[in-house]
Amino acid sequence: MTITFKEFKNNIKADATVFLGSFRWDEADKTRGREVSVVRFGYKDKYNCLDVSSFPSLPLADNYKMDVYTDYNVGGWGTHYVNEESAVDFNSNRFYIIAPAFVKDVEKAYNRVNDAKRCSINARVLASASEACATWLRRSDYLKGKNEVELLEGMLTLDACENDNRKRENAVRRTLGFAEKAFAKFLRKEGFANGDEYLARLEQETKAKAATERAEKAAEKKRVRDIEYVNSHIFYENGEHVGYDFETFIERTINTGTHVMYRTCSVGNENSLTCEEENDYNGYSRRCQFTMIKRGFRLTVKKGYSIRLVGGLITFYRGEFKRDGMACEWVEQGRAIADIVTKKGYLVRGEHIEAKTLKEAKRINAEKRKQQAFDLLNARAKRAQKAAEKKQRMEELAKYMFTFDDSLNAGNCRPGTQNFKNLVEKEVGHEVNEISLADLRKYGRMFDLSYYIDRVINYVMNRK
CA distance 315 to 334: 16
DSSP code of 120? B
Q: Which of 460, 346, 341, 442 is nearest to 397 (CA)?
A: 460
Question: What ranges do the domains of the chain cover?
Answer: 2-109, 114-190, 242-354, 400-463
Buried b (16+ CB within 10 A) or exposed e, 298-318: bbbbeeebbbbbbeebbbbbe
Percentage, residues of the chain above pLDDT 90:
59
Average pLDDT in the chain: 90
CB-CB neighbours of 54 under 10 Å: 15
pLDDT category of residue 464 using cuts at 50, 70 and 90 = low
CA distance 86 to 226: 62
CB-CB neighbours of 95 under 10 Å: 24
Question: Following CA atoms 316, 321, 323, 328 in sequence, which dihedral angle do they give, to the nearest 10 degrees?
Answer: -30
**Per-residue pLDDT, 349:** 87
CA distance 203 to 199: 6
**Residue range 243-250: average pLDDT?**
94
pLDDT tens-digit map of 386-405? 888 778 777 778 888 888 88
- Please report how the helices 450-463 and 437-446 are oriented relative to each other, as an axis angle in degrees rounded to 10: 160
More confident residue, 328 or 284: 328
More confident residue, 308 or 415: 308
Contact 95, 102 (CB under 8 A): no
CA distance 12 to 93: 9
**Whether pLDDT at 44 is above 50:** no
More confident residue, 456 or 203: 203
- Which of 25-39, 178-192, 269-283, 333-347 shows the lowest mean pLDDT across its residues? 25-39
CB-count exposure of residue 462 (10 Å: 0-12, 13-18, 19+): exposed
**Whether pLDDT at 233 is above 90:** yes
pLDDT category of residue 43 using cuts at 50, 70 and 90 = very low
Type of residue at 267: V
238-to-242, 304, 323 alpha-carbon distances in Å: 10, 20, 10
Contact 58, 109 (CB under 8 A): yes
**Whether pLDDT at 41 is above 50:** no
108-to-19, 102, 156, 258 alpha-carbon distances in Å: 21, 10, 11, 58
CB-count exposure of residue 457 (10 Å: 0-12, 13-18, 19+): buried
Residues 6+ apart with CB under 8 A from 4: 62, 63, 64, 65, 66
CA distance 192 to 278: 43
**Residue range 252-266: average pLDDT?**
92
pLDDT tens-digit map of 2-23? 999 999 999 999 889 999 989 9
Type of residue at 269: N
**Per-residue pLDDT, 39:** 65
DSSP code of 165? H
CA distance 263 to 256: 10
**Whether pLDDT at 47 is above 80:** no
pLDDT category of residue 70 using cuts at 50, 70 and 90 = very high
The maximal CA–CA distance of the chain, rounded, in angstroms, is 145
Model confidence pTM above 0.85: no
